[in-house]
Every structure is written in structure tokens, then in C-alpha cells.
Amino acid sequence: MRRYSTGGESISKDTRINEQIRVREVRLVDSDGKQLGVLPIQEALKTAAARDLDLVEVAPGAAPPVCRIMDFGKYKYQLSKRHTAKKTGGLKEVKIRPQIDDHDLELKVRNIKRFIDEGNKAKVTMFFRGRERGRPELGMKVFDRLVSLLTGKFTIEHAPRHEGNSITMVIAPK
């Protein structure tokens, strides 16, 4: 059996694995999702060890508790990836400058369209440096050009807003 620990402490405080499961019998689910039935805990541990996988308690509140045979390290990795995906919320950022050329703006528009087609939101950010800060209307003209180049199914979730030394806008799929 593999042991997952960092400094003597279990990686996951709420998920019990292998010998941490302290019940008489469990409902066992195979790594493919096939139910193997209600088995004594020792037999379930032997089945997991024979497949060189871990026994993970996925539904501790059920009677009997449901345990799944899986690779616990891979499971924790997938949970962390899912958590970071939720954190970003499918928001992709595109940065532009006030003096952007037409071709470069078209490239940025193509990227925004791709993000929207994938189902993500696109945040367009424009930063001003030095003397550009005194001319935010030039930045607003660039945003007007950008919106005129965008075609397809999208909504402007947050209209261009001037905040400090930047202008931001959020575009979402319809």
C-alpha cells in the first residue's frame, strides 16, 4: 500500500484512505465504476492492494460507507486542477496598448473570439504609461474599434471602464 503523508500528517484531512477507514464493511466500487458489492473492510483493502491502487472513502455518510478503488495521488491532482479552474472562472485576459496597430488589434480580436467560442469570458485590459495617461479618450477609441471588429454571439458584461492607469472591459459568450 502506498502512504500519502507530509510530515506525518495526511494530505487530505476529510478523505479517509486505506487503513484510515475504520468500519466493518463497505460498499466497494471498482476503478471503472462497476459495483463489487458490500464487502468486509479487510477484503476491500486486499482487493485494492492486489490492483496496486488505494481504497478511498467517497461517501462516508452512506450505510454502509461507499469506497472506491482508485489512484489517490491522481485523484488529489484532479481535485486541485478543478479547484484552480473554478478560481479563474474561465476568464482569459487579453492585454492591449493605446497605440496598437490595426493588424495587432485584429490578432487580439481573433484570440477573444477563440476564448468566447471555448465558453470562456475575455477580459480586455489596456494600460497607460507616461503621457498616455493624459489621453484616455484614445484608449476608448481603441475599445470602440475592438467592439466593431468583434462579430458573433457575445455580450459585453462590463463596458470599458477607466480605473487609474488602465481601462478594462469583460466580454462573455451569449
- How confident is the model over 20-56, as pLDDT tens digits? 888 888 898 888 888 888 889 899 889 888 988 888 8
- Residues 45 and 118 reside in one and the same domain: no
Given a cut of 50, whether residue 7 has pLDDT beyond it is no
- Residues 59 and 103 reside in one and the same domain: no
pTM, 2 dp: 0.51
- Residues 71 and 101 reside in one and the same domain: no
- Residues 46 and 61 reside in one and the same domain: yes
- Residues 106 and 154 reside in one and the same domain: yes
Name beta bridge partners: 55.
Answer: 69
Task: Look at residues 82, 113, 140 and tell me which one is the last residue of a structural domain.
Answer: 82
Among 97-101, 112-116, 130-134, 150-154, whose mean pLDDT is lowest? 150-154
Task: Look at residues 49, 82, 115 and tell me which one is the last residue of a structural domain.
Answer: 82
Per-residue model confidence (pLDDT) at position 8: 40
- Residues 72 and 95 reside in one and the same domain: no
| CATH assignment at residue 157 | 3.30.110.10
What is the distance between the alpha carbons of residues 32 and 23, in angstroms, rounded to a whole number? Answer: 23
What is the distance between the alpha carbons of residues 80 and 86, in angstroms, rounded to a whole number? Answer: 10
Task: Look at residues 48, 82, 116 and tell me which one is the last residue of a structural domain.
Answer: 82
In degrees and rounded to multiples of 5, residue 24 shows phi and psi of -75, -45
Mean pLDDT score of the chain: 84
Name beta bridge partners: 9.
Answer: 6
Q: Which helix (H) or strand (E) covers residue 142, if one does?
A: helix 136-149
List the domain range (segments joined by +) for residue 25: 5-82
- Residues 119 and 141 reside in one and the same domain: yes
The total number of structural domains in the chain stands at 2
**Residue-wise pLDDT tens digits, 101-112:** 999 999 999 999
- Residues 155 and 104 reside in one and the same domain: yes
